[in-house]
Structure 1
Amino acid sequence: MEESAVCDLVLPCRDEAGALPALLAEVPHGFAVIVVDNGSTDGTAGVARACGARVVTEPRPGYGAAVHAGVEAATSEWVAVMDGDGSFDPAELPQLLAAVTSGRCDLALGRRRPVARGVWPWHARAGNAAVVWWLRRSVGFPVHDLAPMRVCRRRDLLDLAVADRRFGYPLELLRKATLAGWRLTEYDVSYRPRAAGTTSKVSGSLRGTTRTARDFWKVLATAEVETS
């Protein structure tokens, strides 16, 4: 870990070797990177180590499984989570970290702002909008994106006891955080094209978006049962 790090940055990764060298070079001072290798076959773990990141192996498939493993492995008081495919700029993390460390909010979220046409396909954008609408209607969710970039206190995140281990993880997290009375604040962040040679598991295809929608539906169905 970087000696002066005040925040651990968890990057859930599956076959992101092509993205990591440039992405890790952009991580600002004060963040220690934990790459969670979630079943990669392209040497992601070796590339991450060579670039100075700490590597955690999570054999259970799923975004939530990878994120949870990284958060459990973190040791800093504060933890950030961001996709490891190069679509986000780590230089924008400090503003989110400052928001939570200063006490302005309990969870700082990055609201995606595409930097070019086609970065955020219509089917993924529509799915995000539909789920956010449900959160607003059901629990008063105050922001506009499911936010693949987020920062909060590590212990508080673990205490939420988010159970989903697939793509429903962020939906369950944001629902529980809202119900727990967390103060949520969002900041516009750049949403860039993925690094060459990597493929999105969610928005890169209609199939991926459909699979994610299925995981979201499971979380929504469980939530409706809990509140009925």
Structure 2
Amino acid sequence: MDVIMAGEAEAGTVELTILMPCLNEAETIGTCVEKAMGYLARSGVAGEVLVADNGSTDGSQAIAERLGARVVPVPERGYGAALITGIRAARGRFVVMGDSDDSYDFSALDPFLAKLRDGFDLVMGNRFRGGIKPGAMPPLHRYLGNPVLSTIGRVFYGSPVGDFHCGLRGFRREAMLALDLRAPGMEFASEMVVKATMQGLRIAEVPTTLSKDGRSRPPHLRSWRDGWRHLRFLLVFCPRWLFLYPGLALALAGLATMAALLPGPARAFGLTFDVHTLLYASGATVMGFQAVQFWVFSRIYGAQMGMVPESRALNAALARFGLEPALIVAGILVLTGLGLGLGTVAIWGAERFGELRGTGALRLAIASVTAMLLGLQLAFGAFFVAVLGMMRPRG
């Protein structure tokens, strides 16, 4: 029998740690620990059961310890905080983590361990393939939240995972530690999958059954709050979709509209578009350009902080179009804007600096301001990129 009781395991002697985050789970923690201990005994796996306790006040710790689990206290509140501490404290080469509310079956971990032994770094459970029992998942989560967020994760990051938020998953401990996971809340579930995908780890999925939890109290999960935290993480961690693509679309649409309206009014769809539309097109161009610049900034900084891998295409573009070329283009834009401004003044002078008639001067003024804004943004952005380059760690 290879079940390691609390306090007996030493680093390097355990193959599997079964990790459970816990916060006031006295009603179900005992059942979960018993199932996990039973799995270890039945399978003959050298393993331990580890409970990362997030400050329970209902005696959950004592129940877990009495049944043979090792308990580590986690002062910082949060699902992610508990699991990060638990992963660091784990003594197993592999870790299988799962919620301690009895919604997952800790006695059926063979598929996870088999994939891990086959060399996969992360093995995700998939509840949609394994089955969701009646009452186990609210309709909002089952038909909207999970499918939408998982689809966003697959589209944004090219992840092979079909159920981003399954709480039962296994992984190589060293691989997870190398990802430097940091999210303290529920978005930790997304962070693990996203970083594993971006770092090229081997990922597999196995069908997993989700049962109705055994608690009499409401779950810690808050649908809209935690759903937003997941979505926010997916957006912030993928600046292409947050900044680059929307920025490019906005800037190109603005430029196209400006090109159409600078000579004069234009009709389309039975409507007349004039200087008012031209002004908004100018704003779209400037805002879009700024969004693209933010993508460059966030991409460079994210790579320097180890959050995302280096972008070879971006690095090559910056190497060819560095500070000096950017400043030359910025100078041309600013001078063009000043020239258009002088043209505006000339039109005003022709009216003896009185009331202007027509919209010609206003069109030139809008184009002038747009060119100068883009030039100054490009210049300031180029200097900031140069500063980021100076901060880059030297190998």
Q: TM-score, normalised by structure 2?
A: 0.54
Coordinate RMSD, CA, aligned: 1.8
Q: Indicate yes or no: 2:163 matched with 1:145.
A: yes
Q: C-alpha distance in 1, partners of 2:108/2:219? A: 21
Report what 1:15 is aligned to. Answer: 24
Question: Following the alignment from structure 2 to structure 1, what is the Cα–Cα distance between the partners of residues 211 and 193?
Answer: 23
Is the contact between residue 126 and residue 205 of structure 2 (CA under 8 Å) also seen in structure 1? Answer: yes
Distance 1:217 1:116, change over 3 A: closer
Which runs of structure 2 are paired with 1:32-51 in the superposition (5 Å)? 32-51=48-67
**8 Å contact 1:18–1:198 — kept in the other structure?**
no
In structure 1, give the amino acid aligned to 2:155. Answer: R
How far apart, CA to CA, are the structure 1 residues paired with 2:218 and 2:110?
Answer: 27
Aligned pairs for 1:170-209 (under 5 A) are 170-202=189-221, 208-209=222-223
Q: CA deviation at 1:144?
A: 1.1
| Structure 1 residues 136-155: Cα deviation after superposition (integer angstroms, max 9, x where no partner) | 11111112112211111101
Indicate the residue corresponding to 2:104 in structure 1: 88
C-alpha contact 1:107 1:151 (8 A) present in aligned 2: yes
Residues of 2 paired with 1:65 and 1:101: CA distance? 27
The 5 Å alignment of 1:120-131 reads 120-125=137-142, 126-131=144-149
List per-residue Cα deviations over 1:144-196 (Å, max 9, x = no partner).
11221111110110101112110110101101111111221111111111114
Task: Report what 1:73 is aligned to.
Answer: 89
- Give the conservation status (yes or no) of the 8 Å contact 1:85–1:198: no
Q: 1:6 aligns with which of 12, 15, 31?
A: 15
CA contact (8 A) 2:51 2:64 kept: yes
**Which of these residues, 209, 213, 226, is aligned with residue 212 of structure 1?**
226
Amino acid at match of 2:187: G
**Quick one: percent identity of the two aligned structures?**
29
CA apart distance, 1:51: 1.1
Which of residues 139, 154, 173 is equivalent to 1:136? 154
Amino acid at match of 2:239: V
Compared CA separation, residues 218 and 114, structure 1 to 2 (3 A): same
Q: Secondary structure at the match of 1:77?
A: strand
- Report which stretch shifted further, 94-103 or 78-87: 94-103
Match of 1:205 in 2: none
Structure 2 stretches lacking a partner, 5+ long: 242-294, 296-395
Structure 1's consecutive aligned runs of 4 or more residues displaced over 2 angstroms after TM superposition are 1-5, 113-116, 196-199, 224-228
The one-character-per-residue Cα deviations of 1:91-138 (angstroms, maximum 9, x if unpaired) are 2212101111122x2211111144532211112222111111111111
Larger-gyration structure (1/2): 2
Conservation of the 8 A alpha-carbon contact between 2:123 and 2:204: yes
Specify the SS of the correspondent of 1:110. strand
Deviations 1:44-86 (A, max 9, x none): 1111111111001111111100000100101111111111110
In terms of fraction of residues, the more helix-rich structure is 2
How far apart, CA to CA, are the structure 1 residues paired with 2:215 and 2:195?
35
Structure 1 counterpart of 2:184, one-letter code: R
Q: CA deviation at 1:224?
A: 3.0
1:222 to 225, 236, 245: 236
Aligned to 1:107: 122
Q: Hey, what does 1:119 align to over in structure 2?
A: 136
Q: Gaps spanning 5+ residues in structure 1: where? A: 203-207
Separation in structure 2 between the aligned mates of residue 218 and residue 136 of structure 1, nearest angstrom = 15
- Assess if the C-alpha contact under 8 Å between 2:84 and 2:182 holds in 1: no
The TM-score normalised by the length of structure 1 is 0.91
